[in-house]
A and B are shown apart, each in its own frame.
Chain A
Amino acid sequence: MGVIMILYYLLSLYLVVILAWNFVREKKSVNDMILILLVLIPLVLRILRVK
């Protein structure tokens, strides 16, 4: 795995953490919660090296 690819994985991980934290902090809008989870799906699948 090249350096640039490792950086992209780190970027993805950072986004997952930020999004997950936003999900935890979101108290009111169910729509926002759903949107956060939808955005998370491809990032989590990439980090798990599934897709």
Chain B
Amino acid sequence: MSAPNDSAERSPRFAKPLLAVLFAALLVAGGRPLYRHRHDRVPVVPGPGVTRVLRLSDFGPTLAGTFADTDVFVLEGAKPGGKALVIANTHANEPEALLAAVVMIENAVVEQGTLFIIPEFNASGGRNTKPGDGYPLYFSIPTEWGAKRFRIGNRDASPLEQWPDPDVYIHYPEKQLLSYIDVRNTNRTWPGRPNGPLMERVTYAAMELMRREKVDVAIDMHGAETMFPVTNCIVAPIKSSKIATLVSLTVKAREGFDNHVEPSPANFRGLSHREIGDYSDTLPFLLEAPIPFLDQPTGPKTERLLLDGRDPFLLRLSRAKKLFVPYDEGGWPIARRVGQHCSVSLEIFRQFTKKNPERAIAVAGIPRYAELVQNGVGHYFHDPAKANPKALRYE
């Protein structure tokens, strides 16, 4: 039997059940969108050039059955020639790469050589979110047949796949000390190892693909902040720099956009443009397109900012000469960013072919910068409802 004073100190009778119900409601309301995002599937319509679809686990068996396994689209030409690998969504919050890859998969026809395309390289990162930065979960690209929706992912793989993070990430095999979070960053875990953390196994599988298939050229597509000096550029090590320079000069002269060359730093380990070149015979190129959405001093991180890149704060910073790219009221629309990636990739193939005619890579059907700016990205996406359901792939 309790004393009268005890009952006076007790919480109201319905407080605990009410709080428990609120807790459950909060879990469902907060968790359901995250769960749906993680299990969302984006249909991709393989174009006439796609001859096979492999899995990355074909080159790194320990990826099989994990969220890190991902599709590798193969486009083989009628004539043998050189081989190229195009990687997108190394960082899944830089969507110009994914969109350029999907444009290629749905439209490219290889006339000579072979093209491998991995549209969702960090597949776990593509299903991770960044709610702390207020990122939307999705964005949509308008097309002639309706809106095509994509997920906005995160720079790093989800801790659901790889947990816990170390205090310091010790790069393999160079032993350089990197930030703890880079253990989940597939642009710090190159060249990887077969039995390392999951993201090292992802990059190892890609290295195996390049080594086994004797890939000549690897292109890793990204986006970078306008306030970051390594933006709007091609990052290349010395072995790729001649081709990169010719590509930069050619797109400026022929297509009218800047894309300067940045040297790959020899002492900064783990990056694709460094390790692919050092640990294989492949020539690596990393493409950066400006993405204002990733800059810190912007307004809200909305879908609109992601797509048109227009922001009044960046405009003021541009007038104060604080940005590393030209910036005006037009922002940096997604069509320009995707167009740059497509044109620079095509020009890399062309310049490589000029230097290595016996390993020619000839690709038709990929739109260039001016076409993408004029028609929009959505113009090049095909309606999954009208495609053969058996041929559809879901990324």
Contacts and interface: CB of A to CB of B under 8 A. Distances in A.
A28 B2 CA distance: 14
A41 B24 CA distance: 9
Interface residues of B, number: 23
Interface string B138-166: 00000000000000000000011011100
B38 interface: yes
Contact of B163 (A8, A27, A28, A44): A8
Contacts of A40: 23
A23 B11 CA distance: 12
A29 B16 CA distance: 10
Interface string B365-376: 000000000000
A47 B280 CA distance: 40
Contact of B11 (A5, A28, A50, A51): A28
Contacts of B34: 45, 50-51
A41 B131 CA distance: 15
B164 A41 contact: no
A33 B164 CA distance: 28
B38 A41 contact: no
A17 interface: no
Contacts of A46: 159-160
Chain A interface size range: 20 to 34
Interface string B1-25: 0000000011110011001101100
B27 to A, nearest CB: 6
Contacts of B19: 30, 33-34, 37
19 contacts: A5-B162, A8-B163, A8-B164, A23-B20, A27-B11, A30-B12, A33-B15, A34-B19, A37-B20, A37-B22, A40-B23, A41-B23, A41-B27, A41-B30, A44-B27, A45-B31, A50-B34, A50-B38, A51-B31
